[in-house]
Amino acid sequence: MMISKRLSELRKRKQWSLQYIADQLNIAKSTYAGYESGYRQPSLEAVKELATLFGTTTDYLLGTTDEEQPSIELTLPTVRLTVDGEAVTEDEIIQLIAFIRAKRDIENKK
């Protein structure tokens, strides 16, 4: 199962113990160990809590995506972007992209 493999990989990468994660979720160590071994399936609420704890998404844990963090391509906006609660205009996105590209060019020349 994808979720058990991903949970194990994330825990080992962070060098966390089974007990530490179980304590964070207020569950028994054996319950969490069951998630990693594939013996138990976490509830949807547990998957959500695990994603938050590991700093990733539920889609990543469930194997829907291989990206640990979602990304948004600014040159093809498919979501409504906001800054301080106000919508970002198309002109502002163009200026932001130009700024990032110019900054990267300068850094690559160093």
Structure tokens at 23: 């304590």
DSSP assignment of 72-101 equals: --TTS--S--EETTEEPPHHHHHHHHHHHH
28 phi and psi, to 5 degrees? -70, 150
For residue 77, the model assigns a pLDDT of 67
* Residue position matching structure tokens 């106000």: 86
Residues 20-63 pLDDT 10s: 999 999 999 999 999 999 999 999 999 999 999 999 999 999 99
90 versus 37: the higher-pLDDT residue is: 37
Whose CA is closest to 53, among 79, 80, 71, 35?
35
For residue 80, the model assigns a pLDDT of 80
Tell me the domains of the chain and their CATH numbers: 3-62 (1.10.260.40), 72-109 (no CATH)
Residues 7-21 pLDDT 10s: 999 999 999 999 999
Task: Report helix angle 2-14 to 44-54, nearest 10.
Answer: 30
For residue 60, the model assigns a pLDDT of 94
Whose CA is closest to 21, among 34, 9, 32?
32
pTM here is: 0.67
For residue 31, the model assigns a pLDDT of 97
